Structure 1
Amino acid sequence: MLKRIRIYVVIMAMMTMLCIQNTSVKAEANEAEANWSLVFQDDFNGTSVDTTNWRMYDGPGHVGNGLRKPSAFSVANGILTVTAQMIDGNLVSGGMAHKANYKYGKFEFRVRTDPDQSAATSAVVLTWPESENWPTDGENDIYETHPNVTRSQLGSYVHYGLNGVDKTVSHMRDIDATQWHTVAMEWEPDEIRIYIDGVLDWVTTDTGAIPDVAHHLTIQLDAFKKVMFGSTKMYVDWVKIYQKTQFPDNPTFRVIDDADVNTISYTGTWNHQSDFWFEKRTKSVTDMSGASAEMTFNGPGIAVYTKKMNLGGIFEVFIDGQSEGLVDTYNRSDLYIERVFEKTGLADGEHTIKLVATGDKNSSSTGAYIGFDFFEILYGSPTDNTAPVATAVIKPELPDGKQGWYTQPVEVRLNTINDSSGSAEMLYSFDNGTTWLPYNEPIMIDKDGRFTIQYRAKGKEGNMGEAKTLNVDLDATAPTIAISGINDGDMLNDAGDVTPIITANDGLSGMDGSKTTVTLDTSSLESGTKVPLYKLRLGPHSLTVTASDQAGNKSIRTIRFETSTSMEAIDRLVQRFAEMKLIDSDGIIKDLRSQLASGELAEFANQVKAQSDKHISSEAAGCLLRDAEYLLGGQV
């Protein structure tokens, strides 16, 4: 079906200058177009949405207004239609998201939107971050009609996060959005360009706003109210997605990632997974004999990148149907982004590469897995005197402790980002560059200390890259706690005192004094405070000290002890309370000590009761009666 008919009428006598101007614009557009490669196109020629490429929304509507349902979409006569209308008391509309994500690219589509007498909906085509981290990772609203009746304006917005707050740069234009328009966004690291019907309409170069993470395209008819009358529709004729052709003037390579299922054909059982350490954080894994990954390409050379590991198996490479031999991906330790195969000198034209898992392994391997990362199409091999740029990936990505400290072992992996030869040597140093060591496997930092790692890359031609520095501060050891003045397991009579002395030390990140606590049973205690034991209940007690360092490591130490009493201890308490003037009669003191000496504990208790709050303070009386009751077995 011919979906777009363009009629050009040139009135030469009246439009000479305009034609000259348009010719210049077309030349520039054609030159720019040559730098974009089409990677996806949907002409909606079927009878329903192709859900292998699109994910349908099924849930609450925009900011909770109504519902988004797959049933809002229909496909007929080469047109995708989204309808918003009231169904069973709910405003039902729709949205769908392309399943592939792209960091930068050209997104183009042909669209129109009906008027909305309720001013309840806005038609929008946008890119949304793969991470779902909004607004930090941005949002590019390419086409937005706003919830107005006449659809007489279109907006374009670039959302970005500033301290977690949504900010935008935007552009509005007056246009009849009920008519068909071809709209495109060219998104590059330093510029976003919006085109309407082939004419550049708006440019932003605000690099603080332009997203720098992968996004996917979405088509949405969003509800801005909970109710509407009648219905409205959004129509999309076609969608195209392009990627920038790498190195258009002197191309050297192009990466085809394992996740590009539109380019790579898989057979057999493959697990397509996310993995932090792979080139684009995705991997395709199989151990099934006969499972294959196949791709057609144009170029004089091709390379294959996989993970090498102790579970690594063997696969066979075929180019244009001819075997190029077996590749063994075993290695004692994990190696990522490894170039395991390269073929150059191919004739001009189209070629096919196919990887076939054999299900075999060498005797040292513990598995037969193939961890496929990406193909690299090699367009040429010019002498590269550019110094390779070293990169470092640290795991955990951010310090897991406080004040910039790590509290668990740190793994550092080194790589390069512009080594087209794939043969750069990675070097690192722990002594400020005095000694450079070859990087063969991940660097593990598992001992406490402050480490400065310098790293750089040495190119095939001997050209040395700039040294970079990475600082890692690791404190995985909790503070030490020393307690004196009392020992674990002590049995103490309650006539005495204890004075706990607490010392907490940390030899690296230092103590966080605000987090040090001392608790006796349930009460706070200062180090060096004398504790009269008669003030504690008889029985078991615990002294607990908690200390934290600046990195967030915490230590807890507990001393457990018991207090008890005896006739001698009670006699000492009588003397102590007399000295403290808590018993103020010499006669009563003499009688009480005499009763204790003769073992008349019941008479002692009765006299204490009789004199409580008189010649014996209530505090002293309570302690003496408690101890007497303890010895009498609760008979006081």
Structure 2
Amino acid sequence: MPRESEKMMSPRARAHVQAFAVAITVLIGLATPALAAFSLVWSDEFDGTSLDTGNWTIDIGDGCPNLCGWGNAELQYYRSQNVAVSGGNLILTARDEAYGGRQFTSGKVHTRGKHAFLYGRMEMRAKIPTGGGMWPAFWMMPQDDVYGGWAASGEIDIMESANGTTTVGGALHYGGTWPANTSTSSSYSLGGANFADAYHVYAVEWEPEQIRWYVDGVLFSTRYSWQWYSDGAPDNPLAPFDQDFYIILNAAVGGYYTGCTDPACVTATLPQQYLIDYVRVYQETSNQAPAVAITSPTAADDPPAGDIVIAATASDPDGSVATVEFYAGATYLGEDTTAPYSFTWTSVADGCYTIVARAIDDQSAFGEDAVEITVGSGCGQAPFHGTPFALPARIEAEDFDLGGEGVAYHDTDPGNNGARYRLAEAVDIQDCSDVGGGYNLGWIYQVEWLEYTVDVPVAGTYTIDVRVASPSLGGTFHLEFAGVDRTGDVTVPPTGNWQAWTTVSTAATLPAGVQVMRFVPTLQGFNLNSFEFASPTATTDLPATGLALHPCRPNPFNPATTISYEVQDPATVDLVVYDVTGKVVRRLISGEAVVAGRHEITWDGRSDEGHAAAAGVYLCRLSAGGDSRTIRMALVK
């Protein structure tokens, strides 16, 4: 249990989430595990005019002499002058100013020695900084290195983002003490929108045998205890994530995660501010959460545009209901403290919305109910996250367009057989055990289809990796863009189980512009998890040069990354990894004859001698027929 649990927050002392600046606001309500009754045990709402030093310590310096650059080749010097509390926010400001031998300054705070926690929901609402070299983070480190130095005692990265901030990531670090450490990570995007444009809620739900990551209530990753370990406790299946961890907030400039370790490559317009509205910690208690149900409107009502009265019933089995809050997606509307509970939502425009009622009891535990409604003429077909997926991107299969049956999808039965995620839709969505967790589509039949609106910024040939699973028979599918089959039938092989996942790859040559991708199963017998589009090969590039080297994935990486390349004709190929001084680190391919087409190879982060390469930026060069291509890669520790 946490060392600090005495500070409680009034149920009414909570910030209100602003609306996204998009025509259609559709977000899944703030999620809570069905069996968990979470109560607030600690928070900082940053409502004062100065940092509460009973909660936080300001980090000072650049990590030197013991950990220069904080172990990540960061370029900033942390100062107290870059930390402020104003306007209901903790503000960490990154500046272009020389200090302490560094070109940049920024802010960092932590709760070590003041507040540490074991298990629970750790949540932050924040607006992050953006631009080349920016690296905002919300993370946790062990209060004590019980199992050894980093990362044998663990690290939990709740949220981190870099550079253009169109994706955010979550990660675990574990294993042995550096350099024998390892990590697993996942990322989440808004389909091309920038996380720096609005406030978002970032959270993990940490339990003994699993950790789940959320953005705005949407689960995007799950890690299980069988996926982590500590060399310091080989017989303890829960280690290292069974100890107290403290919270860290910082806005780094540069570092391996950004791929920028030299001041000259920082292109962000400074100063940049990391605005944190609140940090909250909830934990499971014996107190039972209240029950709440929205009674009006219902999913079948289709109310007209204008004022809409939202009504709900709420009760608490072992206490009393303090308030019922009402949301449109993640946007706070208002609350009612007296039964019967209701709120009048005024001037509602035509569109599709998820309305949420959250009942909070006298011990801060909460329960929720959500209803998806169509107002007036509805929303027609529209991207699920409000904006098209900007390629290259990872598209989760469950994030198909809004619009419903016959518009955004066709499904042969009326219900969601998996009873997960988008409960008002007829598409069958279930929990997924693939790497990263989340959801997948099941019960797929060949007469069905789903559509996704994508934005193709550059015409070219896009490689598409599709995650699929099939117990015995396999199946086939194709992808249409703007009504044209661009892939032909793609074969799904048998994998032995509905949750035994593999990747099948295809390619599509696409014109530039916003267009609708339609997934069409042509032979049933498989589950679908995601589509991942790589950066394109320009349509004029490969025929002219006969050679293409694609960005490695993942990047940054630890411990391994996959490099893919293409040759137009049979060729003799060299593929070599260099450090930034030009020294050869690893010869992945040396004078090997390859056939025409696309090829992949994995670099395990080791040198030709078998030694683990140091964290840093590396160059990978492909050479064939007197021509060459080079990409940059960042190995992180």
TM-score by length of 1: 0.34
Greater fraction helix: 1
> Which of the pair has more CA radius of gyration?
1
